[in-house]
Each structure stands twice: as C-alpha cells, then as structure tokens.
C-alpha cells in the first residue's frame, strides 16, 4: 500500500512486528514524551540510554509509566551515545534516536571507525518526508541538514536513500526530480550538468528502482501545468515522489518553508549508517518527532 499521509505510517507499523528504538542520552522531556507516545501507540519498543534517576523523575513529572521502556544506565552524554551504538551493534536495537546530546557528539558515536555504525565508504545523509499542503502525495527530499555541497557520488547516495525511502513507504516506482534552476542543461552550472549525469546513470540502470529526471526547475517537478507550458515531456513532472536538492541552502530553505509558511507536517531521519537514525531538533513539533520515529521504524 502506498502511504500518502504521514499518519498512515502508524497503521502500517501496527500490522508489523515492532522495531526496537534505542534513544541516546534520553534524559529530557522532549525525547521521553515522543518515545512514550510511540510506545503507547504500540508501534515500537524502546530502550532509553541515560541517567536512570533523571529518566524516572521526568517520567513521573509527565505522568509516564517508566516501565514501558527498558532503561540502560549511562553516566554522561558521550557514554550514553556510545552505549546506544553498542546496543545497536549487539543486535539489541533496530534504530537510533538522539536525546539531549549535541548533534556532533551523537554523530561522532555513529561515525566512530571501530565501534560506530558506518560501513566503509558509506555516505551519511539526511532524508525528509513531508506532507506539503496542496500536493497530492508525500514528498521525499534531501539533503537539508548534513552534506552542505554534495559531490556527484554523494548525490548518487542521496538519490538512492530517497528512492529506498519512497519504496519502503509503498511507492513501487518512485519518480525522482533533480532540482536545478531550469530544465535546460547548462554545462556551467554544476547542479544542472550533474543532474544530467545522474539522469543518464538512472537510464542505464546505474541507479535502480526509480524514474529519474533532471535538471528540472522546482515548478516543473511539482506542477504538471508548468511542464506543459514549457514543453517539457517527462514522467516526473508534476508527479514527483522525490526531489534531490543541489545543496543544503536550497534544501533547508524548502524544508523551513514547508514548516514555517505552509504549516505542513514533515519528519526526517539520517540514512547511510547500518540503521536509520532519528535526529529531531527541539524546534520540531511533538507530532513531527512522532512521525520521525515512525519513519525510522518503517525503514529499520
């Protein structure tokens, strides 16, 4: 079944065996509340790694029964992240979530060469799934948070993550638009010519499982009429499931436009490690955190 609304993820997860979340240094109310909601909905099981006394007192304060979690003690944020990653490597958890630890310390634990979660040469990237108002389905895009200026290989990796995400959300053959300022192939604009390369690679089966087209302007990617007016014939135009952004500024601005100006819901995860990792920020709504947990569970 193709998921076209974020909350449909919950229904799908309820029909599957529960995945196990491991939250790194989960000692704050934001994290604990979001995880408890997911556990109470019956879509995941959870291990909270952190100071047990603090976790329990936050639970009491917010009327949460701490026995719904497994709690693993850690004395500091760094130890919490290290232990969380160890639990994943030991097969005791299926995906990771960041608690009250800085993003760089959290990432460091994931990226640790000996004891982290990266396979050789893997690219870590951020994938967002949004439910933009006025669009007829979910939109999956990246990278808006981790890789500032992806090179060709990183772009290909991001494309593969977008495609994988779309497929796991039930889109059989996702349509992926590669963003540039225009649909013309302009050799002097990197986003434009790399889009042409990636499209050709997809045509040759070097990127599988999706219909890929680019360069395309944003209007052409999401609006069929614009494509008709400009005379661009492409299956992707007006019906894209995925968008590859050329850089973090473009992607991040789109992400924030969706949340700040459109008030639409979205969620996000980090892909490229052995397991999906949730990386919510405190600015995210409770609902968005819950969706991010559900997304990671869907992909785990």
CB 128 within 8 A of CB 140: yes
Segment interacting with other proteins (CB under 8 A) among 24-32, 35-43, 157-165, 199-207: 199-207
Other CB atoms within 10 A of residue 282 CB: 9
∠ CA 9-26-73, rounded to 5°: 125
Using the minimum distance from each CB to other proteins, give the nearer residue, 180 or 288.
Answer: 180
193: contact with other proteins by CB under 8 A: yes
Residue 15 three-state SS = coil
Using the minimum distance from each CB to other proteins, give the nearer residue, 65 or 228.
Answer: 228
Taking the C-alpha atoms of residue 179 and residue 17, their distance in angstroms, rounded to an integer, is 37
CB of 211 vs other proteins, minimal distance in Å: 13
CA separation, residue 32 to residues 46, 74, 98, 269, 293 (Å): 10, 16, 11, 18, 12
CA 102, 107, 113, 116: dihedral to nearest 10 degrees? 100
184: contact with other proteins by CB under 8 A: yes
In this structure, what are the phi and psi dihedrals at residue 186, rounded to the nearest 5 degrees? -115, 110
> Which residue from 231, 261, 263, 283 is in contact with other proteins, where contact means CB under 8 A?
231
232: contact with other proteins by CB under 8 A: yes
> Which residue from 53, 60, 75, 152 is in contact with other proteins, where contact means CB under 8 A?
152
Other CB atoms within 10 A of residue 280 CB: 23
Segment interacting with other proteins (CB under 8 A) among 19-27, 122-130, 187-195, 260-268: 187-195
Taking the C-alpha atoms of residue 207 and residue 295, their distance in angstroms, rounded to an integer, is 23
201: contact with other proteins by CB under 8 A: yes
187: contact with other proteins by CB under 8 A: yes
Segment interacting with other proteins (CB under 8 A) among 29-37, 135-143, 162-170, 197-205: 197-205
173: contact with other proteins by CB under 8 A: no
Residue 88 three-state SS = helix
Segment interacting with other proteins (CB under 8 A) among 53-61, 84-92, 163-171, 180-188: 180-188
> Which residue from 57, 76, 173, 206 is in contact with other proteins, where contact means CB under 8 A?
206
> Which residue from 157, 195, 227, 248 is in contact with other proteins, where contact means CB under 8 A?
195
215: contact with other proteins by CB under 8 A: yes
Other CB atoms within 10 A of residue 33 CB: 18
- List contacts with other proteins (CB under 8 A): 152, 183-185, 187, 193, 195-197, 199-201, 204-206, 215, 231-232
């Amino acid at each position: 079944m193709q998921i076209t609304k974020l909350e449909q993820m919950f229904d799908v997860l309820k029909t599957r065996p529960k995945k196990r979340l491991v939250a790194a240094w989960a000692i704050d109310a934001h994290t604990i509340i979001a995880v408890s909601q997911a556990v109470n909905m019956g879509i995941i099981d959870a291990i909270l790694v952190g100071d047990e006394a603090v976790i329990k007192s936050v639970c009491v304060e917010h009327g949460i029964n701490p026995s719904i979690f497994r709690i693993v003690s850690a004395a500091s944020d760094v130890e919490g992240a290290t232990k969380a990653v160890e639990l994943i490597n030991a097969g005791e958890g299926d995906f990771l979530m960041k608690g009250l630890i800085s993003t760089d310390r959290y990432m460091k634990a994931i990226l640790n060469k000996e004891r982290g979660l990266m396979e050789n040469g893997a690219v870590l990237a951020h994938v967002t799934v949004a439910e933009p108002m006025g669009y007829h389905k979910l939109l999956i895009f990246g990278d808006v948070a981790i890789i500032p200026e992806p090179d060709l290989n990183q772009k290909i990796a991001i494309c593969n993550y977008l495609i994988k995400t779309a497929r796991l959300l039930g889109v059989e053959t996702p349509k992926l638009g590669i963003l540039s300022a225009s649909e013309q192939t302009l050799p002097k604009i990197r986003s434009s010519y790399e889009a042409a390369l990636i499209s050709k690679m997809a045509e040759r089966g070097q990127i599988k499982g999706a219909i890929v087209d680019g360069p395309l302007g944003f209007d052409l990617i999401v609006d069929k009429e614009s494509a008709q007016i400009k005379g661009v014939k492409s299956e992707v135009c007006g019906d894209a499931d995925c968008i590859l952004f050329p850089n973090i500024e473009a992607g991040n601005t789109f992400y924030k436009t969706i949340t700040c100006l459109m008030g639409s819901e979205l969620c996000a995860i980090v892909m490229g490690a052995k397991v999906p990792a949730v990386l919510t920020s405190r600015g995210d709504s409770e609902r968005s955190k819950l969706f991010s947990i559900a997304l990671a569970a869907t992909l785990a």
